[in-house]
Chain A
Amino acid sequence: MELIYNIFIKDGGWLTILNGLKVTVEISALSLLFGTLLGSLLCFLRMSKFTPLKIFAQVYIAIVRGSPVLMLLMLLFYGVLARAGMPPVAVAVITFSLHTAAHVAELLRSAMMALDRGQIEAARTLGFSKWQAFQLVTFPQILRIAKPVYQSTIINLIQWTSVVGYVTITDLTRVINNIASRTMQPLITITGGLLIYLAISWLVHGIFRLSERKSQLRQADS
């Protein structure tokens, strides 16, 4: 017990861990936001009837999804954006947004492909405009279908951010590594770090479960 205290609490160690956690959450949240927006746009381009845009989206998704995120991050930070003078966290957010966008685009496309086209046609026959059909028929169903995979994407994103120590960012993993080196207790420290990541994943899972429950209740009420 004393060892655990010395590793995680003593001399304000827990505050340092919290600061690392804050950085991890910050990068993950911003990347998720921008990645989702960009991913939606990419999905739109990918499904477009205009061939050059479709090909652009296809190539983008193929390259980014097939690249290890650490390589992409190092390439941007130490290469492409090295002279831009951008803060490391901004480069990390750009990298993870680009990477998440490719995944979000594909998950949205698969959700759209799972939709029954007949429903949209029926809505149009009933006099719904294109926008109304999308807003009232397509969109709610996409959300429902994409939700479980989107949840996995968020959890994956949080785990991917653990490599930002390579670009001078002190995130949760970096803090855990620093503590492990200082205390010479890597196995216990890494287990502690793993539990924190697990807690975040469960929190994300809990939020999705809660929103699912709420929508079920709403459906039952109506």
Chain B
Amino acid sequence: MKKIFALLMAFALLLITGCGGEKVSDSNKVKIGMITRLNASEENFEKFVEQVEETFKVSIASHKPVFFDNFNSMLAALQSGQIQEISTYTCVARYMIAKDPHYVLLKDHSLEFIDSFCFGVREDDTELKDSLNMVIKEMQDDGTLGKLAKEYITDIKTDGEPTAIELPHFDSAQTIKVAVTGDLPPLDYVSADGKPAGFNTAVLAEIGKRMLKNIELVNVDSGARAAALTSKQADVVFWAIVPVSEIIPADSDKPAGMELTAPYYKDKVVHVGFKADEKK
């Protein structure tokens, strides 16, 4: 019995050291948190990073990406010291710093990427995609999108939060179900009273008005966005990312069965960490 126990313990130890052991070179790298893309495995994404290094002749090998399903767990990892930095967007970084001055925008990375934010719709829902594209173009041309971005993203108050906007209602009009995650403030978040608020509701309210359609918001976990769309539990997914780069494929956040609309917002990828003297 003792021999079996000792053998089991040795096997468990082997498993633990085997699985958890990092390469020596990895242990010196800065761990940077990234959100998992819907259509790119973590291995693929690491390859893209290697490609970036080769193409631009820069060294970003000092960072090791650690992937998270949602922003929340990535932030928790940053706070607990599991990772040292997170990769996010300028608007999110500004929101973070406004909420907690311990965070700081890191300026030591040499590459700057820009991502476009689009709506995700079902592949076969071309009518909805075309209508959304038309409305997005209208809103871009008449400056509405810029105005909303300024009001709900750029000029965000540090002490308060943008209120939820009432979504328009049209009797007997078609209802579009939009999946929001509440996971990417100030673009997509849920206010204290439990209502989706901020930029997302402002943009969707305007779209509803212009399309003369009702908008119903459903709160869904980030990881279930694609499933919600393809199973028709939602008609539109609030945000999907298209990298403005030749190296990272445009469909890295577009799973099979999903089509993306024209972008309604663009933002620069930045790194955020804790201030040097306030590392937790």
Listed in ascending order, the chain A residues whose CB lies under 8 Å from chain B are 10-13, 15-16, 19-20, 74, 77-79, 82-83, 88, 165-168, 170, 174-175, 177-187, 190
Beyond the given pairs A78-B230, A165-B221, 8 more chain A to chain B contacts, judged by CB atoms under 8 angstroms and listed by A's residue number, are A74-B224, A78-B228, A166-B221, A177-B70, A178-B190, A179-B192, A184-B95, A187-B80
CB pair A79 B99 closer than 8 Å: no
Give Cα A165–Cα B69 distance, bound, in whole angstroms: 13
CB pair B224 A175 closer than 8 Å: no
CB pair A166 B224 closer than 8 Å: yes
Within 8 A of A (CB), among B81-105: 95-96, 99-100, 103
Main secondary structure on chain A at its contact with chain B? helix
- B212: interface (CB < 8 Å): no
Q: Give 3 closest A-B pairs by Cβ, nearest first.
A: A11-B192, A78-B231, A16-B194
Give Cα A82–Cα B228 distance, bound, in whole angstroms: 9
Within 8 A of A (CB), among B185-203: 185, 189-194
**Pick from A15, A83, A88, A182: contact of B189, CB under 8 Å:** A182
Interface size band for B = 35 or more
Give Cα A83–Cα B219 distance, bound, in whole angstroms: 19
CB pair A186 B182 closer than 8 Å: no
CB pair B231 A79 closer than 8 Å: yes
Known: A182-B185, A182-B189. A82 touches B194 (CB 8 A): no
A185 to chain B, nearest CB (A): 7
CB pair A13 B100 closer than 8 Å: no
Give Cα A121–Cα B103 distance, bound, in whole angstroms: 73
Cβ contacts A to B, 9 pairs, < 8 Å: A16-B194, A78-B231, A83-B232, A168-B220, A178-B190, A180-B72, A181-B72, A181-B190, A182-B185
**Pick from B79, B190, B218, B219: contact of A186, CB under 8 Å:** B79
CB pair B95 A170 closer than 8 Å: no
When distances are taken between beta carbons in the complex, the residues of chain A under 8 Å from B96 are 184
Give Cα A178–Cα B70 distance, bound, in whole angstroms: 11
A73 to chain B, nearest CB (A): 10
CB pair B228 A181 closer than 8 Å: no
**Pick from B192, B232, B233: contact of A182, CB under 8 Å:** B192
When distances are taken between beta carbons in the complex, the residues of chain B under 8 Å from A190 are 76
Known: A78-B231, A168-B220. A182 touches B190 (CB 8 A): yes
Give Cα A167–Cα B218 distance, bound, in whole angstroms: 9
When distances are taken between beta carbons in the complex, the residues of chain A under 8 Å from B233 are 77-78, 82, 88, 167-168
B145 to chain A, nearest CB (A): 23
